[in-house]
Amino acid sequence: MPRAHEGDRAGEVTRLLRAARTGDRDAFDALFTRVYAELRAVAARQLRGERDGGALRPTELVNELYLKLAGSPAGEWEDRAHFYGVAARAMRQLLVDLARRRDAVKRGGGWIMTTLGDGTASTDAGLEEVLALEDALAGLDERQRQIVEYRFYGGMPEQEIARVLGTSTRTVQREWTKARAWIYRALYPDSGTAGLAPAPAAPRAGSA
């Protein structure tokens, strides 16, 4: 009986994925809720002292979640790709929620600028930066925002992002480069070239 239950659930996730792919908003929400809950649970597990060994990379995490929820390692490529998108969105939301919860605690050390070696350095979370990044993302155009989500929050490789967006890896790289520059400008507005025109706020996409 538990097996049957698992199977139903896996089938349900696949069904939701397909529905969400065709633009079904309710299906997306239902899926998002599940993925979000799982991500939260993982974060909580990290809290229980399994952190050193358990800091999964986003790519691994998303794959494990997919295995768990959809029940099969591969499935249709489009399903998996879409799942990436949902997971990336959920990860983004989780970071924001975690940061807001701890808003009172101020800590130094900017993770955004920390380039990590082979898992040897520790990361201090700058919760302000999580929230600042949200603001910066709002200033990107839709495609750049998607690329940042897939790549940063979802850990999706460039080639896969290109495939999902139906474009070249070169275009993905170029858009990522620009997105990063815009984000930097929004996060550190004072560090730019002083003396030139006053730095405007992060550019907003669209005039409407």
Six-digit token pair at 22?
A: 């065709």
Six-digit token pair at 107?
A: 């800590």
CB of 94 to other proteins, least distance (A): 6
How far apart, in whole angstroms, are the C-alpha atoms of residue 43 and residue 112?
19
Residue 9 vs 163, nearer CB to other proteins:
163
Q: Is residue 108 a contact residue for other proteins (CB under 8 A)?
A: no
Please check whether residue 96 is in contact with residue 130, taking contact to mean a CB–CB distance below 8 angstroms.
yes
Site for other proteins in 1-40 (CB under 8 A): 18, 21-23, 39
User: How many positions of this chain bind other proteins (CB under 8 A)?
Assistant: 93
How far apart, in whole angstroms, are the C-alpha atoms of residue 30 and residue 7?
18
For other proteins, what does the binding mask look like between residues 48 and 67, x meaning CB under 8 A? -xxxxxxxxxxxxx-xx--x
Sole residue written with tokens 């790289």: 173
Q: Is residue 205 a contact residue for other proteins (CB under 8 A)?
A: yes
Q: Is residue 202 a contact residue for other proteins (CB under 8 A)?
A: no
Q: Is residue 91 a contact residue for other proteins (CB under 8 A)?
A: yes
Q: Is residue 119 a contact residue for other proteins (CB under 8 A)?
A: yes
For other proteins, what does the binding mask look like between residues 175 and 194, x meaning CB under 8 A? --xx-xxxxxx-xx--xxx-
How far apart, in whole angstroms, are the C-alpha atoms of residue 141 and residue 165?
14
| Residues making up the chain, counted from first to last | 208
Instruction: Please state, as a whole number, how many other Cβ atoms lie within 10 Å of the Cβ of residue 5.
Output: 9
Which listed residue (9, 42, 128, 134) binds other proteins by CB under 8 A? 42
